[in-house]
Amino acid sequence: MTALLELRDVEARYGPVTALHGVSLEVGEGEVVALLGANGAGKTTTLRAVSGTVRRSGEIRFADKKLRTPEGAARAGIAHAPEGRGTFTGLTVWENLRLGAYTRRGSPRDAAKRVFEYFPRLEERRDQQAGTLSGGEQQMLALGRALMARPRLFLLDEPSLGLAPLVVKEIFDALEKLNREDGMAVLVVEQNANIALASAARAYVLEVGRVVVEGPSDELRANESVRRSYLGY
């Protein structure tokens, strides 16, 4: 499989604290890859390194071109939905979605039609203020806003956090459909390792800013240390 995203010996820092220690990984064209690990392992920082929102060194390439800035990452076709939803609560659902289309040419309405296919509840609440939505609906809106740019790669951080199981299933079903029908690649950070491995073809396990295990999802499910630490059996 052709590599769409490549990280080579990436380090990242928050002031004097080094959060990533030589992380190397790949995401292929149209591939779903999961990042697993405990809190503080460096999962979120890895996504931030790709999108250019943290100080980092090493090499990050997307479609065989070096990524240098957040603007460059967005224009190259990378969308990042960070942990915590981050909707503009005083704006309507439609206004939030329009903000997501700023790097895209063409009508925002055309892009929104596709988003509404995946998340019909957003169309029902199109004129409602984002701050009045339920937690699950706000997560759908955060994802929908990122998808307005029709990205080639979606960086997704903890999409299931604090949500009911039925809402989580709805979100992951939509992501699976996006991957299958649009060929969108996904790099997902997910605390629920069972959900992540069920959705991803491959996964990387981070510990203290280093990749310690990697491989196909089926192999990681059979890995005793992964099972005990992250799968609960």
CATH number reported for the structural domain that contains residue 201 in this entry: 3.40.50.300
| Residue 110 confidence (pLDDT) | 86
Q: How far apart are CA 33 and CA 55, in angstroms?
A: 23
Q: What pLDDT, on a 0 to 100 scale, did the predictor assign at position 103? A: 65
| Residue 38: φ, ψ to 5° | -70, 170
Has residue 176 been placed in a domain? no
Position 2 scores a pLDDT of 82
Does the residue 112 lie in any domain? no
pLDDT at 149: 87
The tokens describing 63, both together, are: 């479609």
pTM (global) more than 0.85: yes
- 60, β-bridge pairs: 7
Beta bridge partners of 78: 153
Q: Is residue 31 part of a domain?
A: yes
Counted domains in the chain? 1
The Cα 35–Cα 58 span in angstroms is 19
CA distances from 37 to 92, 187, 203 (A): 35, 14, 10
> Over pLDDT 70: what percentage of the chain?
97
> pLDDT digit string (tens) for 38-60?
989 999 999 999 999 999 999 99
Whether 97 contacts 108, CB under 8 Å: yes
Residue 55 maps to a domain = yes
108 lies in a domain? no
Residue 66, pLDDT above cutoff 70: yes
Token pair listed for 218? 């089926």
Q: How far apart are CA 68 and CA 1, in angstroms?
A: 24
pLDDT score of 188: 96
| Residue 62: domain span | 1-77+152-164+183-233
Q: Do residues 196 and 204 make contact, with C-beta atoms less than 8 angstroms apart?
A: no
pLDDT confidence bin for 13, thresholds 50/70/90: very high
**Arithmetic mean of pLDDT, 106-127:** 90
Residue 104's pLDDT is what?
65
| 37 in a structural domain | yes
pLDDT at 230 (0 to 100): 79
Residue 192 maps to a domain: yes
- Does 226 reside within a domain? yes
| Amino acid at the residue 189 | V
